[in-house]
Structure 1
Amino acid sequence: MDLSSPHASFQARDLKILHTQHYITKPPCDPKIMTFGAFHTDHLLEIDWSDKMGWSRPMIVPFKNLELHPFSSCLHYAIECFEGSKAYKGPDNTIRVFRLDCNMLRMKHSAKRLSLPDFDGHELQKCIEALIKVDQDWIPDHPGFSCYIRPTLIATEEALGVRASSKAKLFVVLCPVGPYFPSGLKPVRVFCNTITIRSYPGGVGEYKVAGNYAPTVLPLKEVQKIGFHQNLWLLPDGLVQEMGVCNLFFYWKNKQGENELITPMLDGTILPGVVRDSILNLAKQLNKFKVTERKVYIQEVVEAIAEGRMIEMFGCGTGVMVQPIEAIGLNDKIYEIKYNPNLNSGELTHQLYQQLNEIQTGGKPHEWISII
């Protein structure tokens, strides 16, 4: 994977580490307490950039608040992008990082789309691994727990005006997180949103930029009021995109009578998820059914459910890994989706979830795991 940059980048060999003198009390490994994003570790990584000086020296410093000028571009024009990955404790107490190189590549693409400075992804990965080592005691060693990695790149030019920023800050924070489903997988109900459009062809749906997320908060609140957990995003013609902030998969018997796992193709309107790509690879390796990426329309989804051809349906993403779906609402109808009540998911959904978990937390080497 080419993560290089044609421009001068910061180098991990120049990394300076300043250890904190005031260590934070770690929370207990209780999934009700250690929820997503509730706690941070003792340190963070920061690297500044300006068009005059280029990248500064990478620094790992005690966790602190950021100081931003009120005119900073990120605060007014959402010129910022971010990523999400995870590190796990293996059974031999090693630290296992899952496909961080893929996150580096996607972040470089997002930065380019926002005219933010490019960087060498391999060098950033090395700096992040150094941060994880410094705060490795924060990585929970309990099953289902992990350390969430959040790299962020923001525009910090101290002037108003919509233009490419002359200054930027790249920072990385870590947070220990418990299992998304403390009592095991739990299916959700999703509502097909025919009013709000998350992204449109030619837009920025394929980039992990801040502006894609804020507008989804109100529609989420609205569907939760009527008994659903998330939105299923569509285009006006019924083209299926994503579920909330997750990619979507459908496992059905197609009209040719074949068992098929299908997911919306990467057409520029949906995020190219790292877990999505992982599931596609794992499914193809099973060699038990057809695996397809193509345009999927909600009309054919509800038709498959009505005809009894939908076997199971799920979403996926870094936070949740795999999210079973038990029902979808479309207009004034609710379509129930079968799942195994003993597994709280479909059988294939559960199998893929178990395979991902074994790769991430097991003791065996894997091409998707960096051991640090």
Structure 2
Amino acid sequence: MSQYNFTFSEVMTKKPKPLGKQLQFGKYFTDHMFVMEYHHQKGWYDGKIIPYQPLTLDPASMIFHYGQTVFEGLKAYKSKDGETRLFRPKENINRLNRSNARMCIPEIDPDLALAAIKELVRIENDWIPKQEGTSLYIRPFIIATEPYLGVSASKQYKFIIILSPVGAYYKEGINPVRIAVETEYIRAVKGGTGEVKTAGNYASSLIAQEKAEASGFAQVLWLDGHDKKYIEEVGSMNVFFKIDGEVITPELNGSILPGVTRNSVIEVLRDWGVPVVERKILLEELITAHKEGRLEEAFGSGTAAVISPIGELNCNGEALIINNQETGEIAKKLYETITGIQYGHLEDKFNWIDMIE
């Protein structure tokens, strides 16, 4: 057990575990969950691991009315030698606390949060799937629970961690996806909450996603909320473009989420000596580069899919086919390198892996 002495109540009857071929993203959940309480007079207290179960909340709990919540997403992997590996968990915890600060939620001791994640994953070790491309998705989140209808920051919260064995996020896997450029709706604006992981960002994106899926696209390419001409994200992922041998990604500007995988991609590219630049990218610049044959690759990066190549960008009915709708060399190599480190096939030269004993 961890030094924080979380109490553990073991489930009486364990669930059947899904087979690897059954795994989808976020459909199955493990036997246990972590729960911790916060009260403004006591701080964070009573961390415990209990059987996975529904929550009982007062109807006036502020999460239901004012959306005060944050969440994170990271994964645990099983190596061929049976090791249990976490990929950069401290980065996710640091980002969780940045989200907390923006959403007026009390921060959590990073060491405590990491200990809770490790202890829960250790208990649920048998739930980590072993097939290549599968993992145990870890979802820490915080919700405001004070029963009060005044518009203010809550004085009570729950910190919860749930686990889900998962397969590929996109059914296409590492194969290129079709993306629609979204010109009507916006995801976020500078000064808003786009740079943190809070539920409202995702709720407001659903209408564009549904519109895109109805037209046969996997996701949307988001433009900035001010001018609607600069590229920001692709779906819920950061986005990269290879133009004239240089990899370009939108600079962090207050409305773009600073992805852990995004940071990892940049570090790997720089280690390889590949030119990589963070700057504003005009949609028109991308269209021009495509017309002139200089747009060589495009791909998204994120925890769920790791790397997702883009084979087509569709802008107002005009299809920009990228790399003959084939996975590009850089995207493929990045996917193989990052997943190779995650699963223990490659040396962890960046010190990204946190082992669970």
Give the structure-2-normalised TM-score: 0.95
Q: Distance in 2 between matches of 1:182 and 1:238?
A: 30
- Residues 46-74 of structure 1, C-alpha deviation per residue, up to 9 Å, x if partnerless? 00001122211210111111111111111
1:3 aligns to what? none
Q: Which deviates further from its counterpart, 83-92 or 180-189?
A: 180-189
Q: Which of residues 138, 143, 153 in structure 2 aligns to 1:164?
A: 153
- Taking a change above 3 Å as real, the CA distance of residues 304 and 363 of structure 1, as seen in their structure-2 partners, is closer
Aligned 8 A contact 2:298 2:309 in 1: yes
Query: Match of 2:115, SS?
Result: helix
Structure 1 residue identity aligned to 2:303? T
Query: Match of 1:14, SS?
Result: coil
Q: Which deviates further from its counterpart, 78-87 or 156-165?
A: 156-165
Paired-residue identity, %: 37
Q: Distance in 2 between matches of 1:184 and 1:245?
A: 16
Query: Match of 1:131, SS?
Result: helix
Aligned 8 A contact 1:12 1:123 in 2: no
2:193 aligns to what? 204
Q: CA deviation at 1:179?
A: 2.9
Confirm whether residue 131 of structure 1 aligns to residue 131 of structure 2: no
1:334 aligns to what? 319
Q: CA deviation at 1:161?
A: 2.0
Aligned 8 A contact 1:50 1:166 in 2: yes
Q: Which of residues 353, 357, 360 in structure 1 aligns to 2:339?
A: 357
Q: Distance in 2 between matches of 1:27 and 1:336?
A: 37
1:248 aligns to what? 239
For residues 1-372 of structure 1, what are the structure 2 equivalents within 5 Å? 12-30=3-21, 33-180=22-169, 184-235=173-224, 236-253=227-244, 259-287=245-273, 289-339=274-324, 344-363=326-345, 366=348, 367-372=351-356
Query: Match of 2:257, SS?
Result: coil
Aligned 8 A contact 2:76 2:85 in 1: yes
- Taking a change above 3 Å as real, the CA distance of residues 155 and 12 of structure 1, as seen in their structure-2 partners, is farther
Aligned 8 A contact 1:14 1:57 in 2: no
Q: Distance in 1 between matches of 2:235 and 2:205?
A: 8
- Residues 277-320 of structure 1, C-alpha deviation per residue, up to 9 Å, x if partnerless? 00000000011x31100111101011100000011100011111
Query: Match of 1:56, SS?
Result: strand
- Taking a change above 3 Å as real, the CA distance of residues 199 and 41 of structure 1, as seen in their structure-2 partners, is same
Q: Distance in 2 between matches of 1:58 and 1:12?
A: 12
Aligned 8 A contact 1:12 1:124 in 2: no
How many residues get paired?
A: 351
- Residues 72-119 of structure 1, C-alpha deviation per residue, up to 9 Å, x if partnerless? 111111100000000000111010100110000000011111111111
Query: Match of 1:301, SS?
Result: helix
Aligned 8 A contact 2:34 2:50 in 1: yes
Q: Distance in 1 between matches of 2:130 and 2:213?
A: 34
Aligned 8 A contact 2:183 2:228 in 1: no
Q: Distance in 2 between matches of 1:211 and 1:325?
A: 26
Aligned 8 A contact 2:168 2:304 in 1: no
- Residues 12-35 of structure 1, C-alpha deviation per residue, up to 9 Å, x if partnerless? 5231111111111111111xx211
Structure 1 residue identity aligned to 2:304? G
Where structure 1 has 5 or more consecutive residues not aligned to the other structure, the ranges are: 1-10, 254-258
Give the structure-1-normalised TM-score: 0.91
